[in-house]
């Protein structure tokens, strides 16, 4: 373990502190993906034990002692050699996803019609997952400002988390015609347990940023690439195979970049609104930035950060879209990706 006075991490497996670990990699990739942790241990007492499903907690303790872990999850894979033990863990959302999770069946006779997505998730966690012990808390669950309803949802063999993410990615708040706010699913690690939270994208122009970075304060290195944002959107009807709505925004002087979506639209106005939503959701995603940082290790996804740099093209406020922290004997590194969320047309099919 590193003797870096600024970082004295603690790794616990099954509530037992690990004395010898050489490397830890924590990744929060965004896009509703579960957080992951990989660690390499040299702990003789663990060599002959089954580690599958054991709880893992990682306290980074960067600059001070943490009251909550930066990661809490459960081991889903491990490998033992004569030199080391390598474990792979996922945050508690992993218990609701993948082939190992309990399959969910929603039928005409057994369904959640009239219930919200939050109520569905609460029922699955409390009555299917937390049967013998609390593997994931429901303390942090709450409905989004425009509740998502489960009416009409039918699934013969799916995972609970797949249902949640498929519904949340198509949900948005368009009260402001020129600022479309989407939602994401994240995990909040508390002192004792971890639970799912729904996060609404903040207004990048009006919301306060969480932290500032400059080359003299926080930025070790910075790279970016610029991409053209769409200037128009076309909504196609899936039933009539015709163009039902077109929305244009800005000038095409830099080239005609379009977003094409398909859906079932009741009117031309609804199709135009769908095209507008797709274009306006993508207008902020002009730059793709990656910074290696000396601070910001605890910042959450979708938080806003300010880049105070000389380059006027990229100076300004951005969203954190993913985070990666690596700890080893040589120290700790933190990589933040900003506005990196890909523009996926499937995200806007209504």
φ, ψ for residue 125, nearest 5 deg: -65, -50
| Per-residue model confidence (pLDDT) at position 251 | 65
Q: Are residues 84 and 107 in the same domain?
A: no
Give 247's strand partners: 233
Edge-to-edge strand list for the sheet holding 179-189: 172-176, 179-189, 194-200
| Per-residue model confidence (pLDDT) at position 342 | 39
Alpha helices in the chain (DSSP H): 117-124, 160-168, 268-282
319 within some domain: no
172 within some domain: yes
Cα–Cα dist 98/74, whole Å: 14
Cα–Cα dist 161/101, whole Å: 9
φ, ψ for residue 335, nearest 5 deg: -120, 125
Q: Are residues 126 and 193 in the same domain?
A: yes
Q: Are residues 143 and 117 in the same domain?
A: yes
24 within some domain: yes
User: 277 near 172, Cβ under 8 Å?
Assistant: yes
Q: Are residues 195 and 105 in the same domain?
A: yes
Q: Which of 239, 258, 284 is the last residue of a domain?
A: 284
Show pLDDT as tens, one digit a residue, over the chain (350 residues): 444 557 899 999 999 999 999 999 999 999 999 999 999 999 877 877 889 999 999 999 999 999 999 999 999 999 999 889 999 999 999 999 988 788 899 999 999 999 999 999 999 999 999 999 999 999 999 998 889 999 999 998 899 999 999 999 878 877 766 667 789 999 999 999 999 999 988 888 788 999 999 999 999 999 998 877 788 888 887 766 565 788 888 766 656 778 888 777 878 888 888 888 778 767 666 788 999 999 999 999 999 999 999 988 889 899 999 999 999 988 899 999 997 443 333 333 33
Q: Are residues 187 and 113 in the same domain?
A: yes
Domain coverage including residue 274: 228-284
| Per-residue model confidence (pLDDT) at position 230 | 80
Q: Which residue has the tokens 């690690």?
A: 189
Q: Which of 90, 114, 149 is the last residue of a domain?
A: 90
2 within some domain: no
φ, ψ for residue 345, nearest 5 deg: -60, -35
Q: Are residues 84 and 122 in the same domain?
A: no
- Give residue-wise pLDDT tens across range 15-57: 999 999 999 999 999 999 999 999 999 987 787 788 999 999 9
Q: Are residues 73 and 146 in the same domain?
A: no
Q: Are residues 155 and 245 in the same domain?
A: no
80 within some domain: yes
Write the DSSP assignment of 142-160 as a string of letters: ---SS--B-TT--EEEE-H
- Record the pTM: 0.83
147 within some domain: yes
Q: Are residues 76 and 145 in the same domain?
A: no
In the chain, the number of structural domains is 3
Q: Are residues 134 and 163 in the same domain?
A: yes
171 within some domain: yes
> Which DSSP state fits 113?
T
Q: Which residues contact 344 (CB under 8 A, 6 or more apart)?
A: none
Q: Which residues contact 252 (CB under 8 A, 6 or more apart)?
A: 231, 232
| Per-residue model confidence (pLDDT) at position 182 | 85
302 within some domain: no
């Amino acid at each position: 373990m590193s003797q870096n006075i600024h970082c004295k991490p603690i790794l616990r497996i099954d509530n037992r502190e690990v004395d010898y670990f050489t490397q830890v990699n924590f990744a929060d990739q965004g896009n509703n993906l579960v957080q992951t942790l990989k660690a390499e241990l040299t702990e003789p007492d663990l060599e002959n034990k089954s580690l599958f499903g054991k709880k893992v907690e990682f306290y980074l303790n960067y600059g001070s002692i943490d009251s909550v872990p930066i990661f809490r999850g459960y081991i889903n894979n491990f490998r033992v050699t004569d030199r080391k033990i390598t474990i792979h863990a996922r945050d508690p959302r992993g218990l609701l996803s993948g082939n190992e999770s309990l399959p969910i069946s929603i039928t005409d006779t057994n369904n959640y019609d009239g219930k919200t997505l939050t109520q569905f998730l609460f029922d699955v966690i409390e009555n299917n997952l937390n049967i013998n012990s609390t593997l994931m808390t429901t303390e942090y669950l709450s409905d989004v400002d425009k509740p998502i309803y489960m009416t009409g949802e039918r699934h013969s063999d799916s995972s609970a988390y797949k249902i949640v993410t498929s519904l949340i990615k198509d949900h948005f708040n368009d009260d402001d015609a020129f600022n479309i706010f989407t939602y994401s699913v994240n995990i909040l690690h508390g002192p004792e347990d971890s639970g799912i939270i729904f996060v609404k994208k903040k207004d990048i122009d009006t919301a306060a940023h969480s932290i500032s970075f400059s080359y003299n304060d926080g930025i070790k290195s910075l790279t970016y690439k610029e991409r053209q944002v769409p200037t128009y959107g076309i909504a196609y009807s899936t039933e009539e195979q015709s163009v039902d709505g077109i929305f244009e925004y800005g000038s095409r002087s830099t080239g005609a970049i379009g977003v094409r979506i398909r859906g079932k639209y009741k009117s031309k106005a609804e199709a135009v609104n769908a095209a507008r939503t797709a274009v306006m959701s993508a207008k902020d995603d002009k730059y793709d930035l990656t910074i290696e940082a000396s601070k910001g290790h605890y910042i959450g996804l979708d938080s806003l950060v300010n880049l105070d740099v000389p380059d006027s093209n990229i100076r300004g406020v951005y969203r954190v879209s993913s985070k990666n922290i690596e700890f080893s004997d040589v120290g700790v590194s933190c990589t933040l990706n900003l506005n990196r969320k890909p523009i996926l047309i499937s995200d806007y099919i209504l």
